[in-house]
Chains A and B, each alone.
Chain A
Amino acid sequence: AQSVSQHNHHVILSEAASLELGCNYSYGGTVNLFWYVQYPGQHLQLLLKYFSGDPLVKGIKGFEAEFIKSKFSFNLRKPSVQWSDTAEYFCAVNAGGSYIPTFGRGTSLIVHP
């Protein structure tokens, strides 16, 4: 069974700091990869996705993620975070013909103004 690991459970940054959240998965075949974000009091929404093609994917609000197949990773990055980026971030993977994504446990990001 596929699994998804998010190594950072809690991250605290100051505004303008750079962000990188790790995500690793355990499936060796073709994968679809996602990052979802849940702002306080709001519903989960898609931040970015990777299906195929350019492994560097750009999403909303200045976020990007890089798919590194050899490392089974899909890390999320943002060069300069803002207070409004405070949220919980979830990595998700669906693989092997399954369209049910498996989610990581999430990373809580707090950005201090």
Chain B
Amino acid sequence: KAGVTQTPRYLIKTRGQQVTLSCSPISGHRSVSWYQQTPGQGLQFLFEYFSETQRNKGNFPGRFSGRQFSNSRSEMNVSTLELGDSALYLCASSLERVTGELFFGEGSRLTVL
């Protein structure tokens, strides 16, 4: 069974630009969550989607947005990039929204110059 796939794996942007990251969950998984990982801060929850609806949102500014498609694939977008947005963005999927057990992708490493 294929795991969670994230694209692109690496990208470099400059301040003010916007970026779109993609995530394909494990087949059959309907919940997709996004996390920002930075050294010393661990994993910070961004948002969670289930059945194409955002169900939970973390404490991030409105520049961070996302969506989920009918096939459960998800995208997240960051507009007006800032230097502090440099991070590893992780996508995780889960079969049901019950236990909190997550299956992670390898992440998209964003560098903002």
Contact = CB atoms under 8 A, between A and B. Distances in A.
Interface of A: 9, 32, 34, 36, 42-46, 49, 51, 90, 92, 94, 98-106
Contacts of A94: 99-100
Interface string B48-72: 1000000010000000000000000
Contact of B56 (A43, A46, A100): A100
Q: Which of B41, B48, B100, B102 is most buried by chain A, counting CB atoms within 10 A of its CB?
A: B100
Interface residues of B, number: 26
B24 to A, nearest CB: 14
A89 to B, nearest CB: 11
A100 to B, nearest CB: 5
A104 B104 contact: no
Given A34-B101, A43-B105, A100-B56, A105 B42 contact: yes
